[in-house]
Amino acid sequence: MDNLIFSLNATAPVFIMMLLGLAFKKIGWIDDSFADKMNKFVYMVPLPVLVFEDLATVDFSQVWDLKFLLYCFGATLISIIIAVAASFFCRDRSMQGEFIQASYRSSSALLGIAFIQNIYGESGLAPLMILGSVPLYNVMAVVILSVFGPEKHRMGKGLIRKTLAGIITNPTVLGIAAGFLWSALRLPMPPILEKTVANVSAVATPLGLMAMGATFDIRKAFARVRPAIGVTLLKLVGFAALFLPVAVMLGFRREELVASLVMLGSATTVSCFVMAKNMGHEGILTSSVVMLTTMVSAFTLTGWLYILRSLALI
C-alpha cells in the first residue's frame, strides 16, 4: 500500500493539473488560442530557464554522466528502428510517417521535469535525458516524415540545414547549454538573478501541464482507433518494458530511472501533430495518439512507478 501511495503521490498531482486545464477550457476561461499561446510561452521561456537553473547551480562534474547520456541516445535510436519496423504492418502506408513519429516522441521535457521534481524536489538528471533524446527526436522526425507519408520531401541541403538550425536554436537545448556553461565556468549567481530565475522557472510545470490539458479533445482520440491503440501500447508499455531492465542492469537508480521511464513511456508530445501537419501529413492519427497516450499514461506511469518502487529501485 505504501508503494501505491508513493506512485499516486508522484503521478496524481501532474494529471490533476492537466485536468484543471481541461476544466478551465470547459468553463470558458481558456480557449484554443490561449492554450496554444500558453504552450508556446512555456516552450520558449520558463522551461529553458528551468533547465538552466537546475544545471547552473550545481557542480558540473556531479551532473555530467556520459553513460546515462549514451543510454538515452541509444534507447531512443533503437526505439525509432523498432517503430519503423512496426509501421510496415499499417494497411494504409500513408500513415507510416505519423505512426513512427508518434511511437517514439515523448513529452520528455515537460513531463520528465514535472515527475522528477514531484518525487525528488529537483529535476535531477532530466536535462541529460533531454540532451540525449530530444535532438535525435527532432532530426529523425524530419527524416521520417520526409521519407514516409503522402508527400515525399527530398532530403536536400536546404532541409538538412533547416533541421540542424532547428536543433541548435531549440530553446530547451539552449537552456541546457547555458546551464552547463555557467556551471563549468563556476560563475556566481547573484541573489537578484537567482530569485528572478527561480520565479520564472516556477511557472513552467503548472502552466505547461494546464496548457496540455486544455488542448485535450477526447473525440479526436478515437478518430483512428486501431492504429492509435497499437502506437499507444508501443509508446506506453513496449519501450519501457524493453529498456527499463537495461537501465537497471546498467546500474541506474532513482532520478535516472524516473527520467528513463518518462523518456520511454510518457505521452506523445503535441509537437508531433504540428510537425506532421506542416510536412503534408493528414495529422488525424497523430492527434489521436496524443490524446490517447495522454489519457492512458495517467494509469501506465503510475503502474510503472509502482513496480519500480516495489523493487526498491526508486
Q: Backbone phi, then psi, for 175, in 5-degree steps?
A: -65, -40
Closest CA to 82 of 298, 233, 273, 246: 233
Counting residues of the chain whose pLDDT is more than 70, the rounded percentage is 81
Q: 11 vs 265, which has greater pLDDT?
A: 265
Mean pLDDT of the chain, nearest integer: 80
Q: Per 3-state DSSP, what percentage of the chain is helix, strand, and coil (rounded to 5)? A: 80, 0, 20
* Block residue for cell numbers 506506453: 236
Q: Is 110 exposed, middle or buried (0-12, 13-18, 19+ CB in 10 A)?
A: buried
pLDDT at 296: 84
**Taking residues 191-214, what's their average pLDDT?**
84
- Torsion angle of alpha carbons 152, 155, 157, 161, nearest 10°? 90
Positive or negative CA dihedral for 122, 255, 310, 14? positive
Q: 152 vs 253, which has greater pLDDT?
A: 253
Residue pair 138/313 in contact (Cβ under 8 Å)? The answer is no
3-state secondary structure of 268: strand
Q: Where are the domains of the chain?
A: 2-310
pLDDT at residue 111 is higher than 90:
no
Which of 9-18, 50-59, 247-256 has the highest average model confidence (pLDDT)?
247-256
Cα gap 274→36, rounded to integer Å: 11
What pTM did the predictor assign?
A: 0.73
* Cα Rg of the chain, angstroms: 19
108, three cell numbers: 520528455
pLDDT at 196: 92
pLDDT at residue 109 is higher than 80:
no
pLDDT band at 154 (very low <50, low <70, confident <90, very high): low
Counting residues of the chain whose pLDDT is more than 90, the rounded percentage is 16
DSSP state of 314: -
pLDDT at residue 178 is higher than 70:
yes
2-310 fold: Na+/H+ antiporter like fold (1.20.1530)
pLDDT band at 1 (very low <50, low <70, confident <90, very high): low
pLDDT tens digit sequence for 215-272: 776 676 666 788 889 999 999 999 999 999 999 999 888 888 888 888 898 888 777 7
